[in-house]
Amino acid sequence: MKAFSKITILSVAAAASGLLTSCEMEYYKEELYRKEIFIVSGENNILGEEFEYGENGFTGNLPIYASGSTGLDEDVTVKFCLDDEAIGEYNKRNFDTSFDDYAIELDPEYYTIDPMSVDMKAGSYSTLLPINVRIDNLLPDETYFIPLRIESVSGYMASTSKNYVLFEILRKNEYATTKSDTYYTMTGTTQTGWVIDGLFGSDTRRQSINSSKLVIPVGEHAIRILPGATAASDKLTIRNNSLRVTVDPETWVNVPVYVEGELTGESVPMQKVIVEPYLDSQDAIHVSLSPQDVSAYDPETETFYLYYRYQLATEDSNTWHEIRETMVRTQY
């Protein structure tokens, strides 16, 4: 009798354990494969996309996915809205009181999302939300986000962690991108002197310069650089002291080749380049172009050949720097 009781108890316990395990498996299976709609993003829920310059803008896509091992059982409509708090929380969490580093919400005049919803078909796993963005007037030193949140989902749940995104607006052209820092290896010469009636004079020797130069896109065919081997850290100084270098891909010129500041007697056909101040301001750098030497860009070697004179707004009005520099792209 005692043996029978023990066997019975063990059998009941084993059956209960099996039932519990079965229930747990069903529960975890449901949890693991439960359908949730989420926005694809990386760290800090940021997803960046590169956009090109052009007055009509270019269309990027925000990917929307459904979790689970099988496609959707029914059609789903996902509606979005702007998230009024996401950028503020991101800035506070990452930069605290370093306000100069704060990201900016992209003004609605620079983008179009119409409609603010997407339809996901039964059987599918994903879809895309088209976003048209116009970047021509954006500042090169700022980080721009479009903060979007899933407002509602028909038929399924929205993810509790991936239900919003900071859609970052990255800019690019043929010469540089803001997706990562674009550097050019710069070699050249500088000479300090004066300019009278467009002619440069100096009583100092020409000196060699070189640096790894950060290049930022600011237009369809334009980049921004600091002159020569100069450097700056704060945004205002960078903007005031920067040059806008614009390539004219339709105009070709024969450019004399310099080596260490000396003419070689050779010339190469290249695209013409204009060098001018980045800002139109009394505090901005002054630029005087050489009447003999023409700046140019060689698309085959991705090389800039720049000839210009500059004067910082903080310098004496009789002090000019004549620069001859060659910039070769080194990082993509």
Helix (H) or strand (E) holding 199: strand 199-201
The per-residue pLDDT for 260 is 67
- Decide if pLDDT at 27 tops 80: no
- Decide if pLDDT at 29 tops 90: no
Other Cβ atoms within 10 Å of 118 Cβ, number: 18
The per-residue pLDDT for 33 is 57
Mean pLDDT of 32-60: 92
Domains of the chain are 36-172 (2.60.40.1740), 182-329 (2.40.128)
Q: Residues 142-182: pLDDT tens digits?
A: 999 999 999 999 989 999 999 999 999 999 999 999 999 99
Query: 199: pLDDT confidence band, cut at 50, 70 and 90?
Result: confident
- Percent of the chain whose predicted confidence (pLDDT) is above 90: 74
Strand 164-172 to strand 46-52: parallel, antiparallel, or no bridges (unpaired)? parallel
Mean pLDDT of 295-302: 94
- Decide if pLDDT at 32 tops 70: no
Strand 182-196 to strand 207-219: parallel, antiparallel, or no bridges (unpaired)? antiparallel
The per-residue pLDDT for 15 is 42
The per-residue pLDDT for 331 is 64
- Percent of the chain whose predicted confidence (pLDDT) is above 70: 89
Mean pLDDT of the chain: 89
Other Cβ atoms within 10 Å of 150 Cβ, number: 21
Q: Residues 5-21: pLDDT tens digits?
A: 444 444 444 444 444 44
- Say how far apart CA 45 and CA 35 lie, in whole Å: 20
Q: What is the DSSP string of 163-182?
A: SEEEEEEEEE-SS-BSSS-E
Which pTM value belongs to this model? 0.84
- Say how far apart CA 185 and CA 210 lie, in whole Å: 8
